[in-house]
Structure 1
Amino acid sequence: MPPVLRRAFFAFLFAFSGPTSALAQQKGPLVLAAASLQEAMTDAANAWARKGHPRPVLSFAASSALARQAEAGARADLFASADEQWMDYLQGKSLLKPGTRARLTENRLVLVAPAQSRVNLQITRNFPLAKSLGSGRLAMADPAAVPAGRYGREALTKLGVWTSVAGKVAAAENVRAALALVERGAAPFGIVYATDAMASRRVRVVGTFPAASHQPITYPVARLATSRHRDAEAFRRFLISREGHAIFLKRGFGRR
């Protein structure tokens, strides 16, 4: 190849590979976060970026699905779960960096209906949920694996209602998918977190489940053993800081 063409060729490679490499280096840590954290974690990532750091890359799904991804070797940096059980699962497999697990925030469980619905229900023991559903379905995250679904099943069981509605459950892959079923009118009722209801104008809260009807809804966060990003620990500390906590409070989450 003539020298002139060779110089042009390498200039072309530099022009296209240089910026791409720079952009790759500018990506922030990869965060696997429970679906219900979507707005709050996005706010936190934006706030972190405004401080001059590369913006974290966020991946939202059910905590169960994310934990399985981490178990399968996903090269992620942080995991924020909607319950302690899936964090325990990863810790039991030595997939967390020791000493990095911390409580991030808390949530509440609510019953929602489409915004235009006028049905009223008081959530008490043996409340007539099955009767109110009629031929409709109860939208909730998969009660066999997803935290929101497990909390919901536990609450309905303690309230003496589960057996009457178990056959009417529309099990969704995560809590946001359950919320979407109610938003579209595909289900007359759904069980979601209070923060999910707050994030949607297309549903209304029918009632809040008594705190004593289910285990406390706590969100832990930790660094994964695969974490290599230089900002991962700093962003984790930011999330659990007073400033980070205020971001979650603004989105309706509770105290740590």
Structure 2
Amino acid sequence: MKRRQIIAFLSAAVVSCLIAVGWPFMTPSPVLAQSNVNLLVSAAASMKDALEDIKPLYQKNNPNINISYNFGASGALQQQIEQGAPADVFISAAKRQVDALEQKGLLLPGTRAILAKNRLVLVVPKNRTGVTSFYNLRDANIRRVAMGEPRSVPAGQYAQQVLQKLKLLPQIQPKLVYGNNVRQVLAVVESGNADAGLVYSTDAKISDKVKVVVAADEKYHSPIIYPLAVVKSSKNSNAAKEFVQFLTTDNQVKAVLRKYGFILP
């Protein structure tokens, strides 16, 4: 065999081997090109049921996007992000927490939007009678009133504002018991361990163990809105931006939010 033929033969053999072992300089396979992306969404506890319903709607058309949720009090989630905990998207139950992250440069510019609005309501256990207004919270037979911890739970902040406006806070302060998030407050009232509680109307809607006494007048508290944004440290910012776009524009999402009693912005 001539020298030139031998060289050509060896070159072809080497290329064949490189293709066989998947040499990294070759064109990536479709499997690698479509590798899964994991999105972690830190969201207010009051959004839990709605977001769980929204998840399969998104993944139906985006099967390579895995969505995980981290639910909790908005203030606690804010602190986690400030301390470097992983998160791709943040959904708060109040403007204050998103403002704080934005001021510290921890959110991706241009990704902030409002997802929904809500109402604050006074609830009591289903079988309790005799409570018809916030002023009944002063009654002797109302021994424990549950609300969110105002320093970290937006529902608690709104509740505190309402009680202050109605000049009830000093009188019922000794009765107050605090929850780490609004779902804890709901659970305490459901169990009868509190005689009344202040939660969102969407929380009351999912429970058959409590009843709504009255909705707080919106002039007595800050607007209850759910802002969301992409976290600047996200390693999947493009996928996170697409998910935020879906949450704020898709008609199926709007239908789910309405089903759970959220008010669209």
- TM-score normalized with structure 1 length: 0.85
Q: 1:31 aligns with which of 17, 30, 41?
A: 41
Identity across matched positions, percent: 38
CA contact (8 A) 1:121 1:207 kept: yes
Cα deviation 1:12-40 (Å, max 9, x = unaligned): xxxxxxxxxx9xx5353110000000011
Provide the C-alpha distance between the structure 2 equivalents of 1:137 and 1:255, rounded to a whole number of angstroms: 33
Q: 1:194 aligns with which of 201, 212, 224?
A: 201
One-letter identity of the residue aligned with 2:56? N
CA contact (8 A) 1:45 1:55 kept: no
Provide the C-alpha distance between the structure 2 equivalents of 1:149 and 1:251, rounded to a whole number of angstroms: 20
Provide the C-alpha distance between the structure 1 equivalents of 2:140 and 2:201, rounded to a whole number of angstroms: 21
CA contact (8 A) 1:38 1:60 kept: yes
Cα deviation 1:226-249 (Å, max 9, x = unaligned): 112242111110010142223211
The residue number in structure 1 matching 2:139 is: 131
CA contact (8 A) 2:147 2:199 kept: yes
The residue number in structure 2 matching 1:178 is: 185
Kindly name which structure, 1 or 2, has the bigger radius of gyration based on alpha carbons: 2
CA contact (8 A) 1:96 1:224 kept: yes
Provide the C-alpha distance between the structure 2 equivalents of 1:221 and 1:68, rounded to a whole number of angstroms: 16
One-letter identity of the residue aligned with 2:87? A
One-letter identity of the residue aligned with 1:51? N
The residue number in structure 1 matching 2:113 is: 102
Provide the C-alpha distance between the structure 2 equivalents of 1:178 and 1:213, rounded to a whole number of angstroms: 20
The residue number in structure 2 matching 1:205 is: 212
Q: Which runs of 4+ in 1 moved over 3 A?
A: 25-28
The residue number in structure 1 matching 2:61 is: 51
| Root-mean-square deviation over aligned CA pairs | 1.5
Structural mapping, 1:54-93, within 5 Å: 54-93=65-104
Provide the C-alpha distance between the structure 1 equivalents of 2:213 and 2:132, rounded to a whole number of angstroms: 6
One-letter identity of the residue aligned with 2:260? R
Provide the C-alpha distance between the structure 2 equivalents of 1:221 and 1:50, rounded to a whole number of angstroms: 22
Provide the C-alpha distance between the structure 1 equivalents of 2:102 and 2:255, rounded to a whole number of angstroms: 27
| Count, aligned residues | 229
The residue number in structure 2 matching 1:159 is: 166
Provide the C-alpha distance between the structure 2 equivalents of 1:114 and 1:42, rounded to a whole number of angstroms: 26
Cα deviation 1:150-204 (Å, max 9, x = unaligned): 0001011111211111121101101101111001110010000000001111111
Provide the C-alpha distance between the structure 1 equivalents of 2:250 and 2:218, rounded to a whole number of angstroms: 25
The residue number in structure 2 matching 1:122 is: 133
Deviation at 1:62, TM superposition (A): 0.1
The residue number in structure 2 matching 1:241 is: 249
Gaps in structure 1 of 5+ consecutive residues: 1-21
Gaps in structure 2 of 5+ consecutive residues: 1-31
CA contact (8 A) 1:115 1:202 kept: yes
- TM-score normalized with structure 2 length: 0.82
CA contact (8 A) 2:137 2:145 kept: no
Provide the C-alpha distance between the structure 2 equivalents of 1:201 and 1:118, rounded to a whole number of angstroms: 16
Deviation at 1:250, TM superposition (A): 1.5
CA contact (8 A) 1:133 1:189 kept: no
